[in-house]
Amino acid sequence: MAEAIFYGCTTRANPALKNSLDRVLAKIRLDFIPMGLDLCCGAPLFLSGHVDEAKKQAEKVINEFKIHDIDTVITPCHHCFTIIGQEYKEVLNVKMPDVKVLH
């Protein structure tokens, strides 16, 4: 089992924010798999009413969790936290593996 940092669009779009987060993670020596650098959680699609597309995006994210055997996802983005942690299961009805989502 592994931990992942899901950076998300907000962090990825702001180099200063991403660099600051990377420095903190290096200082605490957290062993993690970086995710969300080229993969969106689907929140923008969901929030703009494109539910079917958001569901497809969720399935891509979940597939990455499975490939990397992720058991914990930490995300600095509140949208990623909410959609991955709650709305994948509750709203999009996507089968989510047993993954703890932290913010």
Q: What local confidence, expressed as pLDDT, does residue 65 receive? A: 97
Paired tokens of 25: 């993670």
Domain spans, the chain:
2-102
Residue 29 DSSP symbol: T
Q: How confident is the model at residue 98 (pLDDT cuts 50, 70, 90)?
A: very high
* CA-angle at 93, arms to 87 and 95, nearest 5°: 100
Q: Which of 53, 67, 77, 51 is nearest to 99 (CA)?
A: 67
Long-range pairs of 14-21 with CB within 8 A, sequence gap ≥ 24: 17/76, 21/76
Grouping H, G, I as helix, E, B as strand and the rest as coil, residue 34 is strand
Domain topology for 2-102: Rossmann fold (3.40.50)
Its pTM stands at: 0.91
10 Å CB burial of residue 57 (0-12, 13-18, 19+) is: buried
35-94 confidence digits (pLDDT tens): 999 999 999 999 999 999 999 999 999 999 999 999 999 999 999 999 999 999 999 999
